[in-house]
């Protein structure tokens, strides 16, 4: 009787021989197909890398432009705020001067109560 291990060895030998026959028949075709697939994958990877690098460069350029515009607008804002502060200071000064002029030219010879209640003609008529 043939032992189980001998049968396994025989089966393995048959399997190897089948693989050899199949490999001889299809090996060239399979290798060629695999090589073509690898070349396609490599081409796609290179294209993807090129596209990615271009997108990164465009993004960096856009970021630089935005940063420059932001810096320019910030500088414009500072200048505008300085102008506004000067205008506010001039306005305050003009209001103070106007108030001084009004109080100085408002019939200085009248008493405080007459200035508030009586027009100039009322004083002259009495």
Burial class (CB in 10 A: 0-12, 13-18, 19+), 114: middle
**And the tokens for 90?**
């001039």
| pLDDT given at position 50 | 95
1 in any annotated domain: no
Q: Residues for the chain: how many in total?
A: 126
| pLDDT given at position 16 | 82
77 in any annotated domain: yes
pTM given for the model: 0.47
| pLDDT given at position 78 | 97
Residue range(s) defining the domain that contains residue 52: 7-125
Do 104 and 91 touch, CB atoms closer than 8 A? no
| pLDDT given at position 81 | 97
If one counts the domains in the chain, the total is 1
| pLDDT given at position 102 | 85
Do 113 and 104 touch, CB atoms closer than 8 A? no
| pLDDT given at position 84 | 97
26 in any annotated domain: yes
Residues of the chain with pLDDT under 50: 126
């Amino acid at each position: 009787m043939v032992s189980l291990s001998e049968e396994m060895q025989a089966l393995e030998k048959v399997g190897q021989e089948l693989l050899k026959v199949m490999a001889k028949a299809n090996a060239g075709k399979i290798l060629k197909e695999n090589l073509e697939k690898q070349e396609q994958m490599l081409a796609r990877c290179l294209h993807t890398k090129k596209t990615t690098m271009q997108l990164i460069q465009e993004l960096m350029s856009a970021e630089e432009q935005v940063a420059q515009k932001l810096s320019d607008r910030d500088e414009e804002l500072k200048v505008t705020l300085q102008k506004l502060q000067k205008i506010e200071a001039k306005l305050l000064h003009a209001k103070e001067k106007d108030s001084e002029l009004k109080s100085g030219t408002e019939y200085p010879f009248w008493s405080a109560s007459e200035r508030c209640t009586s027009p100039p003609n009322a004083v002259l008529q009495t």
